[in-house]
Structure formats: C-alpha cells, structure tokens
Chain A
Amino acid sequence: MPGSIVADVAAGALRPRMGRLSQAHTLLKLGLQTQLAYREELVSQWVSIAVEVIVFRQLWRALYGARESYAGVTLAQALTYITVTIVVTRFFSTWLVEDVNSQIRDGDIALALARPISYGYSWFLRVAGEALASLVLVSLPVAVVLGLVLKLPLPSSPVVWVAFVGSLVLGFLTSFYIDYLIALSAFWLTDVGGFYWSKGGIISILGGTYLPLWVFPPAVAQVLLWLPFRGICYTPVAIFIGEIAIGAQAVQALGLQLAWVLVLAWLSRRIFRAGVGKVVVQGG
C-alpha cells in the first residue's frame, strides 16, 4: 500500500486493542479537544459563516441577473453550491501547515520522531479530530439552520448522499495531503509562510472552490478537471447539487479523487523520508 497512513489505519483496525489505550481513538479525541479549547470563538464562527453565505449568495444573484441558467447550471443550483462550499471549506481548514512547519523549524520533530507512532499518521489523526469537532460544532448546526431558513433544495436520492459523503472523505484526505506536503517543505525551506498564504488562493482558484469549474472557459476547465485541487471541494459539492450526475460521471470523479489521494500519499511518504534523512544525516 503506497500511503503509510492508509496502511496505518488498516493496521490499527486489525491489531488487537483489548484493554489498551487506542492510538486512533485518543488522537482523534486530542484533535477534538484542541478545537474545544477555543469554544469561545464558536459564536463568531457561526456569524462569520452566515455573513459569508449571505454575501456570496447576493453576488451570485447579481451575476446571474435575469438569466435562468449559466453553462447549464441553474441559479438555484449555483446558490446551493456556494452555500454548501462555504460550510464544507470551514471544517476542512486546519492548522496543520503551521503546526508541522514549526515543529520542523524548531527541532521539536526530534521529540516526535522518538515516539513509536508514524509521524504522518499521528498528525492525520489529530487533524481528523479537529475537523470532526469543527464539523459537529460549526458546520453541521450552521448547515441545518441555513438549510431550513434558505429552504435549500436537498438531494432526494440516498445514492447521491452516499456519493457526497464518500467524496467529502476523499476531499478531506486530498486537502490533508496537500497541506502536509506544503508543511514538509520546511525541511528544505526555513519558512513556508509565504507558500502557505499563496496556497489558499491557488487552491480555491485551481480547485474551483468559489468560482466553480463550470464558469471557466472550457479549455481551462478541462485542465483543471484533471488536477487534484478540484477533488477537495468541487467534486463533493458538484455531486451534491447534481452537476456531477450519479453514474459514469460520478464514478469517474470519485475514481480520480481516489487516484490523487494515493499519489499524494505516496509522494508525501517519499518526501518525508527524504526530509527526515536530511535531518538524520545532517542534523539541525
């Protein structure tokens, strides 16, 4: 299996853990707690999502003007797209890049390497825990309220829901690995801060996050469709609104997501080894 983390999850599920503290369970809980430490910010998070949703919906209304649909996407679909996107983006965003980056820069990685757990796997569990907390505390309640207030059209077919959730999980993995790869560049660069700031913009443009891929010129969209970035947010939300239809289209989209996750997992493993090798041989 190319991805160390995928292998670790599988191994963790197989290993007997009767009466032992579980790595996965405890580290997920750690991520949850890290998020809960900032529970004072909950209200401000709810408000900021609501404001963002209102602003973007108005923007799209204005862009559509009197049009019924654009590039085959109706105004109602576009509005649902942007609403779901904002909610999803929120719980996907983590502090992984800063945390891993500072650990490498300050040399605390020496402590982490002296633990009997793979470095990437332990971070994955933490970040997953953080995302889970943010999903439960921020995204889900906001989604329910927005869904009721805005009377969002929801998919009626359970197959769409399953595909959406599956695609969301793959999207999260894609987002994790891209962040992790950026963070690992700290082995060679002293500070990845600038990199990190440009990452947000690049991914949201190339990934068709706020500007969905269907609004790009067909030639550009064709290229972007094959990149990993669209797998983060565009694919799951496009499945949700029916822009990616269940059937061959959805299978292809999910397959591409999975392929990219595997490639990124393999890449991050290689890069981690090279980086640790550099520290181990060169020090510092």
Chain B
Amino acid sequence: MIRLDHLSKHFRVTQPGCGVRGKLRRLIAPEHRLIRAVDDVTFDITPGEIVGYLGPNGAGKSTTIKLLTGVLLPTAGSVEVNGLVPFRQRTANAYNIGVVYGQRTQLWWDLPLADSFEVLGAMYRLPKARYRATLDMLVSLLEMQDILDQPVRKLSLGQRMKGDLVAALLHEPPLLYLDEPTIGLDVVAKDTVLQFLQALNAEKGTTILFTSHNLSDVERLCPRIVILDHGKVILDATRETILARFGQQRRLVVEFQGMVQRLDVPFGDIVQQEANKVWIAFNRDEVSAFDLIGALGQGAQAAGNGIKDISIEEPHIESIVGQIYQHGVPGAVEVSDARIDRG
C-alpha cells in the first residue's frame, strides 16, 4: 500500500544573519544550512493497517506526509503509494488518499459544513448518488446531523475536526493520513474521533497513518507504531512491545505542605526533587498509584507533613525517545539499521 525505500528529504535553509551587519553580510554571502527533515526512512504499510507515526515536534512527520501526498519531491530514495509515485502522479494519487491536518482546515470558513462538503465532492467529480450515500454514512457515524447547516467559523474545535474527517473521506479513499488530528481536542471529542477511525478501519478496511507526538493517543488506536526522531526511524515495533517497555512507566508528582527533607519511597524511584515537590517514577504493573499515594500519605503524616497536591504524568514521547537513545529497545521487532546516533 505504502512503500518508503531509503526515502530522504533535505532542505537547504538560508540562515538569516544577526543584527544589521550580519544581515547585510548574509545578503552578499548567504549562508546555508542543510536540514535533514526525513533521513533514509524505510518502511512498508500493508492494506488495512493502522500505523501510529510518533515523534517529537520537528521529527519529520509532516514532511513524510507531504512526500506521501506528492507535494514534496524526495531528495533521495523512493516512495510509492498504492502503486503510484505521488509527486509524479499527484492528481491520480489524490483520489487514493484523504488527508486531515489537525492544525489546518480544508473547510471554507464562511460556508455551512454541508456546502463545503459539496464543493469537495465536486472537485473529485463524484457521482451524485455515491456522494449522498457516503455523506449520509459518515454524518450518521459521527453524529453531526445538527451541525451541517452551521458555518465552520461557528463550530467548536471538536466539531470542526469531525467536519475535516468527513471532508477527507467523501471520495472514499483507501488511505487516510492524519497529521496530529487530536491536537487540542478534549477527552470526549478525542474519544469520538478514535472510535470513528477504528470503525472506519474495521468496516471499510481503510489504511490509516496516524501522526502524533502523544503516545497515549497512538496506543489506543494503532497496533503498530513507528517512532521518528530527527528524520530517522528509531523504532518500528508493535504496540505491545512499546507499551511493555515504556508505557508502564509513569510519574507521580507529589506536592507536600512543608519542605521535604528525607523521603522513604516504598516503591519506584525518586527522579527529581525541588523544595516541597517530589517526582517519583513507578511502574504501573508493579504498584498501583493508589498504593503508592497511601504509603506516601502515611509516611508524611508520621513526619508531621501533609500532602497538598498530587498528579500523575503520562510518559512523554520525548522521554521515550531519550530512553531509546540511552538504553536501546530490548525485544523490539526491528530497530532501523540500529544507527542510533543523534544529529
């Protein structure tokens, strides 16, 4: 379905100088810097797969999607989508793919949703009957009958995201690219989107590439996860492998009423300590947060200190990437060429 073979995209960026003198100097002798946005990336996606494409901001996720839509020309390597070369057959490729960008909308600001859909349907010259049937199906799946006559500018972010999903799927593409689709969504909206994508994949067999910088979004939806950093694939593994290694690692942040001198933690490790705040890393499988908090509360009371506030931090992709660089990944299906040198 999708085949990336040693795909690279490098940009030459002109460095603006600093200050008036620097700027003038650069005007005469421009200085360039090479950015390896996507660097020797190889992986395949088979039809019907849902793949999570995970990486910190600037890792090259969006560039990959632009290469897949044919908007960018690869610097090296090759890319093939459903048998087509996207940058050469951009129009033909357009019929095969749907794209949703979390931070951009493809809907028209002043138009009611229904009209935006019609314009998009027309761009693909869809048969009217087919268009109606698809639209009805999508609208009822996403429960958005009530907002179809609303102009996009009056929609909430969650409603707009539903609209963008419909817009990307009207021409029934076998492939869907989602670029940070859950960004800024609340829990309920996120839930609807994830459930919808699951249903779409199950019923229509749509292949999905789901981009995010958030592990917890990806873990629910994607049986396979590809982690990207600095343009390189640093891990391509099943969800189970990744969660077993990183997903259980959570942090409990405890804020005490008074200063903390010495603290005995029965489980987990103290990873950071500041004045009256303590960060404790613990493994979800070994101890429940509830037990940990209970033990901490007793200890604090005995020492004449009380607990003021508690929160739990989910694992960040940054910390996971950091851990991969430090320790590698035991049991990973495949670490791309195992070349884990930064920059």
Contacts and interface: CB of A to CB of B under 8 A. Distances in A.
A114 B111 contact: no
Interface in A7-46: 17, 19-23, 25-27, 30, 33-34, 37
- A interface residue count range (under 10 / 10 to 19 / 20 to 34 / 35 or more): 20 to 34
A53 B127 CA distance: 48
Contacts, number: 93
Contacts of B124: 21, 115-116
Interface stretch (B66-74, B205-213, B246-254): B66-74
Contacts of A108: 104
A110 B125 contact: no
Contacts of A107: 104
Main secondary structure of the interface of B (DSSP, over half): mixed
Interface in B98-129: 99, 101, 104, 106, 108, 110-111, 115, 118-119, 121-129
A114 B90 contact: yes
Interface string A256-284: 00000000000000000000000111111
A124 to B, nearest CB: 14
Interface residues of B, number: 41
Contact of B71 (A22, A25, A26, A113): A113
Contacts of A26: 118-119, 121-122
B87 A20 contact: no
A282 B94 contact: no
A117 B94 CA distance: 9
**9 shortest interchain CB distances as A-B pairs:** A26-B122, A21-B122, A37-B110, A116-B94, A114-B69, A116-B91, A280-B73, A110-B71, A283-B11
Interface of A: 17, 19-23, 25-27, 30, 33-34, 37, 107-108, 110-111, 113-117, 122, 279-284
23 contacts: A19-B127, A19-B129, A21-B121, A21-B126, A23-B122, A26-B122, A27-B123, A33-B111, A34-B108, A34-B110, A34-B111, A110-B69, A111-B99, A111-B101, A111-B104, A113-B70, A114-B99, A115-B124, A117-B123, A279-B72, A282-B12, A283-B11, A283-B63
